[in-house]
Homo-oligomer: A and B are copies of this chain.
Amino acid sequence: MKLVLDAMGGDHAPSINIGGAVDALRLYPKLKHLFLVGDQAVLKEECARQGLDLNDPRVSLVHAPEVIDMCEPGAKTVRRKKLSSINVAMDLVKDGHADAFVSAGNTGAVVASATLKLRTLKGVDRAGISTAIPNEYGLCSILDAGANPEAKPEHLVAYAVMGTAFARHVLGVKAPRVGLMSNGEEDEKGTAFTKETFKLLKATPGIHFIGNVEGTDLFETELDVVLCDGFTGNVMLKTVESTAKAVSKWLKAEIIASPLRMLGALIAKGAFTALKEKSSYETYGGSPLLGVNGVVIIAHGSSSALAVRNAIRVGIETVAHRVNPRIEEALAAICKPAVVGN
């Protein structure tokens, strides 16, 4: 199990990346080798600062002189900055040196580089990002969270199959429940796009399609995969994040408004800490880019070392559970249904 980490990706690179690497090397025995990709001088200094021993045979430093900034246009910049950490790292996966790539960098650039260099799996037209959020029953994955903003109905059918494979083999859900995000639960609700997708999903074997779902279902319905185009998924995820942030910010403001309330909150502190842990993306770590011919895990741009470490864990699990071969098998089964009898 060899992984490659984009040591320059994310808002707080390279310190959180190296921090996550140190923890991952200590915690995950399955991780046999970790490539750190980025500017050699910068990384050497950061590794020294955080006590990451570059003589450790499990660690290699791979030089990449360029960095793609978080706000640069992804696809364009990937073609221009050929020696960026994202491209150099992706080549390691493409050439078989590494089994998976983890990046907290520019999402658009990671998607573009992965699609260009690794290509998509057989039967897959467009890759999709699967981002998990915690709900009452476990984890609910939003697919696509932003790779493919103008998705076609067929893309969502492949997402349903890929999301099912990931939930089943990595998250351990026996029969993952798949819903289609719409503006109402009734079958006839939605746009021309969701209605066509609904029809295709109804006819797709091997998935457990429960029909249309709404924003209100995200947390309260037993739901493992929520399908949507990448525009809707991106808006939804950022809305979840900002709402949760606003609620806790306002609660904090109300608490510090009075010394008595502050005392009460101090006494109940454990509850706030537990909530923070449950609702933090750091705990879930990384979102797999499903559908490319290789394992690519995208971490949040504002990731902490904990989030990077958990993204590495997701990468390890995705490789270990052979998610891609299983996706290809499942898609092959849809395209060529076994003829039984006549």
Q: Give the interface of A toward B (CB within 8 A).
A: 71, 73, 135-136, 146, 149-150, 181-184, 186, 188, 190-192, 194, 214-220, 228, 230-232, 234-248, 250-251, 254-255, 257-258, 260-272, 274-275, 278-279
Contact = CB atoms under 8 A, between A and B. Distances in A.
13 contacts: A136-B246, A146-B183, A149-B190, A150-B192, A184-B234, A218-B242, A219-B243, A232-B235, A260-B270, A263-B268, A264-B269, A264-B271, A268-B268
Contact of A237 (B186, B215, B231): B215
Given A270-B254, A271-B254, A218 B243 contact: yes
Nearest to A230: B183
Contact of A258 (B135, B270, B279): B270
A315 to B, nearest CB: 25
B275 A254 contact: yes
A275 to B, nearest CB: 5
B242 A244 contact: no
A128 to B, nearest CB: 14
A245 B218 CA distance: 11
A241 B123 CA distance: 37
B234 A215 contact: yes
Nearest to A238: B215
A186 B71 contact: yes
Contacts of A246: 135-136, 218-220
B275 A267 contact: no
